[in-house]
Amino acid sequence: MGNKGGTLRLPEGAVEESLLNVETRQRTRWITINRPDKLNALNSAVLEALETVLTAAASDGDVAVVVISGAGGKAFVAGADIAAMQGFSAAEGREFARRGQRVFELLERSPKPVIAAINGFALGGGLELALACHLRVASELARFGQPEVKLGLIPGFGGTQRLPRLIGRGRALQLLLTGEMVDAATALSWGLVDRVIAGSDLPEAVQKLADTMTALSPTAIRHCLEAVNSGAECPLEVGLELEAALFGVSFATGDMKEGVAAFLEKRTPVFPGS
């Protein structure tokens, strides 16, 4: 894979740079959580860093797709940092949960596709992070679970809400109430992930998927994301009206004009992104 753009340096003083590796590859912004000694566990500093780079990616015209992954090869994200939470009061626990939820909502509401490249354990907050992404591509070695009940806790970053919406109430409760892990093949059969890839091929497969979307209309992709995200939260009739409105708006875009012209002229479109 080519690496165009190199490593993106975060704003000086904004976050601890060592927590994330951020680079742009062929208009894809790769964000790698870099705490391999802690299995990439999430704490307040990591959430702050994620918020910074996700906000930057959303407004960067050179970025078409975002990928989230974990460093070290063993874990995507193995959960929240338990040691950091040990002394929390009830109020502090609630605020930590709300902070994580706000950051994960940036993923879910991103105007650009976000892919979770799940290269290992996705447990607790790590699974919740993956759930907030638009697409989930997993290594065959990946493992998934919500083990919070084993600590006397419940998921706090959206797991009780997104998991049943994605895989159904029964299977979600199986994970939530037992704390058990499932393998990649099971996750695929449940619809928890979209693809399973041989471990060493995961980065290349994710980049290829990102490149496919990068070549398409940015405005159409943005409208698809808006229609799905907003429509999922309202009655079907309201969702259909939103779809029709966005379909109509598409006719006023340069992307639609270029896409139709290229189709009729039997050539590859070059979308202006407007």
pLDDT at 60: 95
Candidates 128, 204, 241, 258; catalytic one: 128
Q: What is the largest CA-CA distance in the chain?
A: 65
CATH 1.10.12 in the chain, residues? 218-264
CATH 3.90.226.10 intervals, the chain: 6-214
pLDDT of residue 17: 52
**pLDDT tens digit at each of 274 positions of the chain:** 334 444 444 433 334 458 999 999 999 999 999 999 999 999 999 999 999 999 999 999 999 999 999 999 899 999 988 888 889 999 999 999 999 999 999 999 999 999 999 999 999 999 999 999 999 999 999 999 999 999 999 999 999 999 999 999 999 999 999 999 999 999 999 999 999 998 789 999 999 999 999 999 999 999 999 999 998 889 999 999 999 999 999 999 999 999 999 999 999 999 999 9
Identity (one letter) of the amino acid at 59? S
Among this protein's residues, is 204 annotated catalytic?
Answer: no
**Of the residues 148, 241, 258, 265, which is catalytic?**
148
What residue has token string 């159409």? 220
Quote the pTM value: 0.91
Q: In what order do the strands lie in the sheet with 114-118?
A: 6-7, 20-25, 28-33, 65-70, 114-118, 135-139, 195-197
128 is catalytic: yes
Determine whether domain 218-264 maps to CATH 1.10.12: yes
Q: State whether residue 239 is helix, strand or coil.
A: helix
Single-letter amino acid, residue 36? P
Rounded to whole angstroms, how far apart are CA atoms 116 and 101? Answer: 17
For 98, the enclosing helix (H) or strand (E) is helix 90-108
Class of domain 6-214: alpha beta
The answer to whether residues 46 and 90 touch, using CB atoms and an 8 Å cutoff, is: no
Question: Which of 114, 104, 62, 116 has the alpha carbon at shortest distance from 221?
Answer: 114
Q: How far is CA 183 from CA 15, 206, 207, in A?
A: 34, 19, 23
